[in-house]
Amino acid sequence: KQEVTQIPAALSVPEGENLVLNCSFTDSAIYNLQWFRQDPGKGLTSLLLIQSSQREQTSGRLNASLDKSSGRSTLYIAASQPGDSATYLCAVGDRGSTLGRLYFGRGTQLTVWP
Amino acid sequence: GAGVSQSPRYKVAKRGQDVALRCDPISGHVSLFWYQQALGQGPEFLTYFQNEAQLDKSGLPSDRFFAERPEGSVSTLKIQRTQQEDSAVYLCASSLLNTGGNQPQHFGDGTRLSIL
């Protein structure tokens, strides 16, 4: 069974810092990897989707990389802002499972203070 | 609306009662997923529909859980004889048909279920 781990579990930084969130997965046979943001009491917002054939994706201040062979992904947040405070979840679509089914990590809770 | 809509947003029930949770996916989205998120955890897969067909229900924790999507749009997750361990946030997600892992899933805000 696919296992997804996220490090660190929580992170508190001052505004303006560049951040790296880490995600690892146990089975490299994946369709894709997605990074989500979850605000308290809310659902998940898709930030970036990397297909298995891709190495990275970028959106604004966010950049996600994928190293499928080593089972790792990183989410890089540039010039962090208080509005970035949320829980960030990593999820993989596993080739051994129903197409579209996602396996999630427990998330990294990010706090950016002014 | 443009997003996935779930109702009710909050549901409190006594142990042993039956509950029904509703999901309205984004119009035109063929794929629909239900996930269960316990406090402090990531979402866990429950079941998957492609149109009206339930193609994977391997994540349903017991036969007290039942899901349907009779016309290929709105879906209902039903939990019979609720127990305290059913307390969680239930999330619904939809996407266009995923032919190669290139379709992101769009999530609703969830239903927070509390069993007393």
A95 pLDDT higher than 90: no
Report, as an integer, the average pLDDT of B23-36: 95
Q: Percent of chain A beyond pLDDT 70?
A: 100
Contact assessment for residue B68 and residue B79, using Cβ atoms and an 8 Å cutoff: no
Report, as an integer, the average pLDDT of A62-91: 97
| Nearest alpha-carbon partner for A79 in A112, A40, A35, A44 | A112
* Residue B1: per-residue pLDDT: 53
CB distance from A65 to chain B under 8 Å?
Answer: no
CB distance from B106 to chain A under 8 Å?
Answer: yes
DSSP, collapsed to helix, strand or coil, labels residue A44 as: strand
B102: pLDDT confidence band, cut at 50, 70 and 90? confident
Contact assessment for residue A94 and residue A27, using Cβ atoms and an 8 Å cutoff: yes
Chain B neighbors of A98, CB-CB under 8 A = 48, 55-56
* Residue A41: per-residue pLDDT: 85
Q: Nearest Cβ partner of A99 from B45, B101, B107?
A: B101
Phi-psi region of A76 (alpha: psi -120 to 50; beta: other; left: phi over 0): beta
Which of B26, B103, B111, B114 to mutate against chain A (most A CBs within 10 Å)? B103
Q: Quick check: B109 and A31 CB within 8 A?
A: no
* Residue A99: per-residue pLDDT: 78
Separation of alpha carbons B75 and B85, rounded Å: 23
Strand A102-104 relative to strand A86-94, pairing: antiparallel
Q: Percent of chain A beyond pLDDT 90?
A: 82
Separation of alpha carbons B1 and B17, rounded Å: 31
Residue with tokens 């880490």: A22
Please name the residues in contact with B22: beta carbons below 8 A apart, sequence gap of 6 or more.
B6, B7, B8, B74, B75, B76
A94: pLDDT confidence band, cut at 50, 70 and 90? confident
Q: How close is the nearest chain B Cα to the Cα of A38, in Å?
A: 10
B100 pLDDT higher than 90: no
Output the DSSP codes for A100-114.
T-EEE---EEEEEE-
A98: pLDDT confidence band, cut at 50, 70 and 90? confident
CB distance from B55 to chain A under 8 Å?
Answer: yes
pLDDT tens digits, one per residue of B37-95: 999 899 999 999 999 999 999 999 999 999 999 999 999 999 999 999 999 999 999 99
CB distance from A102 to chain B under 8 Å?
Answer: yes
B99: pLDDT confidence band, cut at 50, 70 and 90? low
Q: Nearest Cβ partner of B42 from A31, A46, A105?
A: A105
Q: Quick check: B104 and A34 CB within 8 A?
A: yes
Q: Quick check: A100 and B91 CB within 8 A?
A: no
A1: pLDDT confidence band, cut at 50, 70 and 90? confident
* Residue B29: per-residue pLDDT: 93
- Specify the DSSP element, H or E, that contains A51: strand A44-51
